[in-house]
Amino acid sequence: MKIAAIALNTFREAVRDRILYTILVFALLLIGASVILATLSIGQEGKIVKDLGLASSSLFGTFIAIFLGIGLVSKEIERRTIYAIVAKPIYRFQFLLGKYIGLVLTLLVTVGVMALLVAGLAFAVDGHWTPGLLLAAALDFLVLMIVTAVAILFSTFSTPTLSAMFTLAVFVIGRLSGDLRLFAEQFAGPGLRQVLEGMYLILPDLSRFQIGPQVVHGLPLGRADVLVAVAYGLAYTLFLLLVAIGIFERRDFK
Amino acid sequence: MSRALLHPSRIPWLALALACGLLFGAVVPLQRQAPALGVAGLEDRVLLLPPPAALRVASLGFHGTAADAVWLLTIQYIGGHLTSDHRFPELKRLVETVVALDPHFVDAYTLGALFLSYSAGDIAGAISLLEQGVRANPTRWEIPHDLARTYYLDLKDYRQALHWFEVTNRLPGRPHYVPRFVARLYAATGERETALELWRAMRDTATSDWVREIAEREIAKLERELAAPAREETR
């Protein structure tokens, strides 16, 4: 109940944030502009609208997750409202989870708006629905859940600027971790291969949530792959939140 | 006068007016000079395009979007050279970059091979690109179909053409005329009629004016060749 109250309050606070609307407007403009670009592509209108739409939704969703996520805890500390909150009969983990769920709700709404726009534009260009686009957006949403958890983890012990930089770095590494493994397999010696393999297993592998290419080209999707990706995303998010709770519980606010 | 002009309530409007003046008085005219000075022209962008491996990393996993961007650059490159010198030295590299980023981009193989054959005159490059496409997309009929067409029309290698038409014939969604071509190739008859039918099918399904133009040019050539023996006979 307490978690729900904090989540709702965080959601209300986030939807009043100008950053959210600025990023959302840019994303919607870019998704809309894909239609103009697509007309120059010799018969590839549908592909370009879907590719650019999914990429914009994912990238701008990440910006929202980072820029709002890093302020979730640090703003409370900066405004000193955290002292009033920790003095109340509420566990710190409830506060942190409430904050996290509130931002995830905000992301659900924004990603939902972007996904519907992409699906609508793709329908207007192709003349038929591509339901896979909504599944691709749903998997992208899982990426945003992980990125938000990373942002909240860093914001429990670091400044907003450093948190933003660290979270962005984790996002970039996560997007490239598939290539990291490929690099290890192809070029690295036995020692380096073990190190890279270890990094690949521990760092978030955000590339496994990418089903955009299959959706855009109408290729079959492995149900097991999607289910494993969902399980991995939820498990990784939970792991990050538990680490964040561990750090936040030990933090001294006296 | 200056005190009245710099009244706090007027400063924002003054700043906006100066910004507009600067935009249209300096920024836009200077930007118009950019093509004349060769600033980041099309050829530069093509020549400085990083290799696919670097683009894969730089695109942060958004490989499809990166492939689309290089595809748009390829189209600009083709269009630019079609209206100027008709030379396409970078076309193969551009198309190979597109398909390295997005191996399932079927139209990049087929259209790329078409422009390599009929605009750049690089039939071997077209064949190698299409073979790469068949390996990456074994269930798509379009690529073996275009391989068969290239072997048939450009290399007159009817054995290879028959092989690739047979591959096309086994794949879902193939055009209705493919079984007829397989039969004709087995009989090894009616080469020009088959060629004409292939080009007409291409003209009717073309999504671009450039492709339609190539098809119409080849149809006209074949129709003239077909009409010539008939005129000889009437004489």
pTM of the model: 0.79
Cβ contact A219:A47 at 8 Å: no
Q: Measured between beta carbons, which residues in chain B are less than 8 angstroms from residue A176? A: 57, 60-61
CATH class of the B138-227 domain in this structure = mainly alpha
Question: Is ipTM over 0.90?
Answer: no
Alpha carbon distance B199, B202 (integer Å) = 5
Tens digits of residue pLDDT in A11-22? 898 888 777 788
Model confidence at B94, pLDDT cuts 50, 70, 90, reads very high
Alpha carbon distance A175, A186 (integer Å) = 19
Alpha carbon distance B140, B146 (integer Å) = 11
Cβ contact B99:B136 at 8 Å: yes
Chain A interface with B: residues with Cβ < 8 Å: 37, 40-44, 47-48, 51-52, 54-55, 58-59, 172, 175-176, 178-179, 206-207, 210, 212-213, 216-217, 219
Let me know the angle formed at the C-alpha of A173 by A74 and A182, rounded to the nearest 5 degrees. Answer: 165
Mutation target among B55, B56, B59, B65 for the A interface, most CBs of A within 10 A: B65
What distance in Å separates residue A95's CA from the closest CA in chain B? Answer: 34
Total structural domains within chain A: 1
Range of the domain at A223: 2-250
Cβ contact A222:A139 at 8 Å: no
Look at residues B152, B215, B146 and name the one whose alpha carbon lies nearest to residue B175.
B146
Ordered by start, the domain boundaries in chain B are: 138-227
Tens digits of residue pLDDT in B190-229? 667 777 887 888 788 777 787 788 888 888 888 887 777 6
Question: What is the per-residue pLDDT for B40?
Answer: 59
Instruction: Please check whether residue B122 touches A, CB under 8 A.
Output: no
